[in-house]
Amino acid sequence: METRDLLREAAGRLRAAGVASPEHDAGELLAHVLGTTRGQLFLAPGLGPDQQQRYDDLLARRAAREPLQHLLGAAWFRHVEVAVGPGVFVPRPETELLAGWAIDQAQAIVATGRTPVVVDLCTGSGVIAKSIADEVPQAEVFAVELDPPAHAWAERNLVGTGVELRLGDLATAFDDLAGSVDVVVSNPPYVPLEAWESVAVEARDHDPHLALFSGDDGLDAIRVIAARGLVLLKPGGVVGVEHADVQGESAPAVFSSGGRWEEVRDHRDLAGRPRFTTARRPHLEHHSVGGWRA
């Protein structure tokens, strides 16, 4: 069968199964089997019998809504690649915007002649930390993950990057860095428990639930990050945290309430949907007795 016809038939199978990007996924899987890229598919030789069987098997697994990245064994994010599979959250393209924000913050500090200290909470596969280390090699980057299987993936992905990875809880991690961090960044769990049915099959059935769900309103982890950020960040330090598109008001409100943060701002993704919140620890901290202090 000609490559064009093969892809058309494969995309039809995936579309019928409810896959959101059937043409893209059919091409990626075929390129994977042939050891080439999607852009070079029409220059590659046709499938041999064994390759055809392998391609059919991969299409069947994708039609069953197994994540494409699990089938490929990797996910691409900004300028880096990370290994992924069962037991770790698959990075999403929209998170590249949050990582880009953190990179910009770190690069601005480098421009002043200082070494930025960056902490990635709920690192999962380690992809945000790896991107920061890749694009801001001058930075000191730290990452923490609570779930042992996900931590094992991060450990694999962060070898040779210089990132210091720890196994632990974001609520208590990095006491040794208290008051010395410039940037805290996190893509935490943020799906409300009640939203179980609305989660895409690929995520609901294959991503770790610890990486997805965060209390009745989905904000439990974000509340912890807001509290922990005040401990970790130096005065003037910044925090960025991803949230669901329906949390464009409730997530910033976590930081706005109580008056402990300033410059609270929400950011939209390329589709115009609310995607992440940033805030700054004030240079001066207000206390009910005694006014303001540094």
Binding residues for substrate: 187-190
Binding residue numbers: 145, 187-190
CA separation for the pair 106, 118 (Å, rounded): 8
CA separation for the pair 30, 12 (Å, rounded): 14
Q: Which two tokens stand for residue 173?
A: 């991690």
Among candidates 180, 251, 253, 256, which has minimal Cα distance to 221? Answer: 251
CA separation for the pair 168, 182 (Å, rounded): 20
Binding residue numbers for S-adenosyl-L-methionine: 145, 187
SS3 content of the chain, % helix, strand, coil (to 5): 45, 20, 35
Are the beta carbons of 47 and 100 closer than 8 angstroms? no
Among candidates 100, 80, 103, 69, which has minimal Cα distance to 157? Answer: 80
User: DSSP per residue over 88-107, as a string?
Assistant: SPPP-TTHHHHHHHHHHHHH
Crossing angle of helices 127-135 and 148-157, rounded to 10°:
20
| Rg of the Cα atoms in the chain | 21
Terminal Cα distance for the chain, rounded: 71
Among candidates 234, 231, 222, 224, which has minimal Cα distance to 278? Answer: 222
Q: Which two tokens stand for residue 270?
A: 């390329």
